[in-house]
Every structure is written in structure tokens, then in C-alpha cells.
Amino acid sequence: MFLQDYIKHQIPPLKETDTIATAKEWLRAFKTGSLPVLSGKKYLGLIDEQGLQNIRDTQALLSTLAFTNQNYFVFYNQYINDALQLMSNYKIEILPVLNSKGEYTGMLTTRYY
């Protein structure tokens, strides 16, 4: 089965122009360990609370961060088993889904929203 049938849109992605404070609020509000960050439709990477923990300037923009986990994604036409394997290997509950142009189209999640 292809994963395009499982793409969720209930949780909005963060934008590179959002602040650290906004990212922390959204992580708490959506009760998730990570959220995707976008520049327009381009996927930059996942942000998590651990990565934000030691940043003192909560008004700093997400664009100032170096994303080390930008390879955590799948393409919309991959099999669902590929996505589940990635999520298990990296111990993440949200996995961004990209289209054939590499643009963000939504996410897969192991949580029910």
C-alpha cells in the first residue's frame, strides 16, 4: 500500500519565520515530540523540544537554526512499510511527506488526532 492515503493535515507545519517560542508552544499544544519546518513549500527539517532546550533567545527565528534531521521524510509514492520502518528506526512519531518536486504535502503520524 502506498502511503498517500495516510497523509494527515491536522497539525500545521512550522515556518522558518516562526520563533523558538512558537515552536515550543506548538510542540506542547499538539502533544508531539517534533514538527516539520518549512520555507514556503520546501521542507527544511524536523524540530524537536530537545533541540530547542538550550536556546535562550525564544524570539529567535527558526531560520537561524541548523537542521540536522532534514533527511527524515518519505515521498508520497513510497510504501507505507518504508515510512513505518523510518519512524521506528528514528523513534519519531511524525514523518513529513514530500511530493515528486520535494515539496511538503503533509505528514504521517503514529498518533491519532
We report the CATH number of the domain holding residue 79 as 3.10.580.10
Q: Could you give phi then psi for residue 37, rounded to 5 degrees?
A: -120, 135
What share of the chain has pLDDT > 70, as a percent?
98
pTM score: 0.90
Could you give the number of structural domains in the chain?
1
Q: Could you give phi then psi for residue 15, rounded to 5 degrees?
A: -105, 155
- Asked if residues 82 and 74 have their Cβ atoms less than 8 Å apart, the reply is yes
9-41 pLDDT tens trace = 889 999 999 999 999 999 999 999 899 999 999
- Domain ranges, residue 19: 3-109
